[in-house]
Amino acid sequence: MADYTDSKSFGTKAYPVEAFETTNLLGRTEAIVTPEQLVDRHLKGVKLDDFTNENLKDQINLAINKFELLTNLYVNKVQMKERLPFDRALYKQFVYVKVNNGPILSVEDMSVVSSNGDQIYKLPATWIETGFSHKRQLNLIPILSIFGAVGLSSSSPSNAGLIFLNCIQNYVFLPAFWTVIYTVGVSHTEGQIPIVINNLIGIMAAIEILGIKQNQFLYNSVSISQDGLSQASGSQGTLSYQNRITNLMADRDKLLAKLKSKIGASKYFLSNI
């Protein structure tokens, strides 16, 4: 089980991003979409006689995994352990680090760890700046140590922050220096996710289900003739739900693009020279 006894967070809500307090007049989070909600929201009028409740749950689970892969976001909270390099240019900018996963909900540990796993120096949680954690950015600001003992657990003056900031000035780059343990997710509350993400998961599941149903149509037209009497009927056949699928895919793409821009899931890799 993850240990959150010495965890550091900024205290804002995961969604809306940077929100501190929100009104109860508008619901923004809910439990993960159920089969009943999936049918009610996206599949009304579609005959699902050959889909059991378990089949619908399986499609929802597949859609959740696809959503996580496409967005690099996690529907349920996940604790990460990541190794980061030492870069002097970034180190001088208040130990600027950018982790691979986000949004960061909390930071449990940030330490200097050797290659054999020995913890050389554990950074105090009070030094870690989490104000930009929704952008996957962390900084180290040991202001308390520089200016005195206010807020320190030992309640005594210390120059550890100054010593730490100057201990490795002769190095330019180390490939693995920091070890960060942090928790990511789209909600602080287990089992609750933003409604817009729930809608995206439902859309992805509905697209797959409609595609399966559409493949069951073998013919575009059927006719019966006997003793001079005939009856004919036609349909779009294998394209019966194509208009609905196209509309859902357009909604999916727009929501994915906007969600990535809001939560900082960048498509580009940037570094410094």
pLDDT of residue 273: 63
Let me know: does 140 contact 122? Beta carbons within 8 Å. Answer: no
pLDDT of residue 80: 97
Average pLDDT over residues 196-225: 85
Q: How confident is the model at residue 169 (pLDDT cuts 50, 70, 90)?
A: low
Q: Three-state DSSP class for 106?
A: strand
CA distance readout (Å), 2 to 30, 72, 80: 24, 21, 10
Work out the mean pLDDT of the chain and round it to a whole number: 84
Tens of pLDDT, residues 193-209? 999 999 999 999 999 99
Let me know: does 97 contact 84? Beta carbons within 8 Å. Answer: yes
Residue 227 lies inside a defined structural domain of this protein: no
With a cut of 60, say whether residue 158 has pLDDT above it.
Answer: no
93 and 162 part of one domain: yes
Residue 8 lies inside a defined structural domain of this protein: no
With a cut of 60, say whether residue 22 has pLDDT above it.
Answer: yes
29 by Cβ neighbours in 10 Å (0-12 / 13-18 / 19+) ranks as buried
Residue 45 lies inside a defined structural domain of this protein: yes
Q: Which of 139, 161, 184 is the last residue of a domain?
A: 184
With a cut of 90, say whether residue 264 has pLDDT above it.
Answer: no
Domain count for the chain: 2
272 by Cβ neighbours in 10 Å (0-12 / 13-18 / 19+) ranks as exposed
Tens of pLDDT, residues 53-64? 999 999 999 999
pLDDT of residue 199: 97
Q: How confident is the model at residue 141 (pLDDT cuts 50, 70, 90)?
A: confident
Q: How far apart are CA 157 and CA 144, in angstroms?
A: 9
Residues near 124 by beta carbon (within 8 Å), at least 6 away in sequence: 142, 152, 153
With a cut of 50, say whether residue 152 has pLDDT above it.
Answer: no
Residue 8 has what DSSP assignment?
Answer: B
The range of the structural domain enclosing residue 71 comes to 32-75+190-215+240-263
With a cut of 80, say whether residue 219 has pLDDT above it.
Answer: no
Tens of pLDDT, residues 70-128? 999 999 999 999 999 998 889 888 889 999 998 999 999 999 888 898 888 888 888 89
Average pLDDT over residues 156-163: 47
Q: How confident is the model at residue 150 (pLDDT cuts 50, 70, 90)?
A: very low
* Tokens, residue 69: 């892969």
82 and 129 part of one domain: yes
Q: Which of 184, 204, 227 is the last residue of a domain?
A: 184
With a cut of 70, say whether residue 156 has pLDDT above it.
Answer: no
Report pTM. Answer: 0.82
| Nearest Cα to Cα of residue 202 among 15, 73, 67, 69 | 67
Q: How far apart are CA 57 and CA 80, in angstroms?
A: 27
With a cut of 90, say whether residue 174 has pLDDT above it.
Answer: no
116 and 180 part of one domain: yes
At residue 30, φ and ψ (nearest 5 deg) are -160, 170
Residues near 19 by beta carbon (within 8 Å), at least 6 away in sequence: 12, 13
Q: How confident is the model at residue 269 (pLDDT cuts 50, 70, 90)?
A: low
Let me know: does 194 contact 15? Beta carbons within 8 Å. Answer: yes
* Tokens, residue 146: 């520089």
Q: How far apart are CA 97 and CA 271, in angstroms?
A: 11
